[in-house]
Amino acid sequence: MQWFTSIGKTLKLDRIVNIAKDSLWQANCPLCKRPADGILCKDCDRQIAAYQAPEFLQKDNPISPEIPLYSWGIYDGALKRAIAACKYDNHPEIMEAIAKKIADTWTRSTDARTFTQNIKKISVIPIPLHDNKLRSRGFNQAEILARRFCDLTALPCHPQLLQRVKDTKAQMQTKSIKEREQNLSKAFTIPSAQVSQQANSRSVILFDDIYTTGATIREAIATLAASKMTVRGVIVIARPQFKSQ
């Protein structure tokens, strides 16, 4: 009897170890909760890929003719849901999967290759979150994106350079263009120590998750310009198909 009990205990323990191993090494897809080999399951990955924009470089130059906007996808459907699941359901790993897609597209894009060849010493800077939001969310999705993108493209990432000093409202909650501009006015700053560290690298690529009105990006460009840093391009995951400007 003693022997059977002992075997039973051993088997049970093995099973527990296996379940623990499975949950550690084979995390389920954060979007559909089914088993996945990578971060996302193949099905969700395919659904997101369906929202890749036909053109990476946005030909309508929504920021300015001098500052190209690269948008990987269309902010809708499965891609929009994935970004929301990352930010509001605490799945930062989704940004890692999306950053890989953006890096692949960037590496294959002739426009992007020519762009980096023509600019020496470029820094990639994610749009920062205010400390309050960073504390409540636990991570900055734009920083995860930028870091992973830089790992894959060998571009230098400087997530500490720009800081958000104003706890702004979500732009969606503002009612007019004037309110939107006031909401973001002086939202960013650059600590003086960071300015001197960047003395050799005055060219910047900004990274953000979504491009809507462009107000956040314009404010960041103005803050960097005040420290004699030039934004040469902006990369985002997605923008809505119908521009809201």
Give me the residues that bind Zn ion (CB under 5 A), please.
29, 31-32, 41, 44
**Residue 44 or 224 with smaller CB distance to Zn ion:** 44
- Cβ 97 to Zn ion, closest distance in Å? 11
**Residue 36 or 215 with smaller CB distance to Zn ion:** 36
Q: Which two tokens stand for residue 153?
A: 């493209």
Number of neighbouring beta carbons within 10 Å of residue 70: 23
**Residue 30 or 233 with smaller CB distance to Zn ion:** 30
- Cβ 138 to Zn ion, closest distance in Å? 22
CA within 13 Å, CB half, 217: 26
Buried b (16+ CB within 10 A) or exposed e, 16-48: eeeeeeeeeeeeebbbeeeebeebbbeebbebb
Distance of CA 204 to the CA centre of its chain: 16
- Cβ 40 to Zn ion, closest distance in Å? 6
- Cβ 178 to Zn ion, closest distance in Å? 42
- Cβ 87 to Zn ion, closest distance in Å? 17
CA within 13 Å, CB half, 57: 17
**Residue 93 or 111 with smaller CB distance to Zn ion:** 93
**Residue 29 or 150 with smaller CB distance to Zn ion:** 29
123, 161 contact by CB (below 8 A)? yes
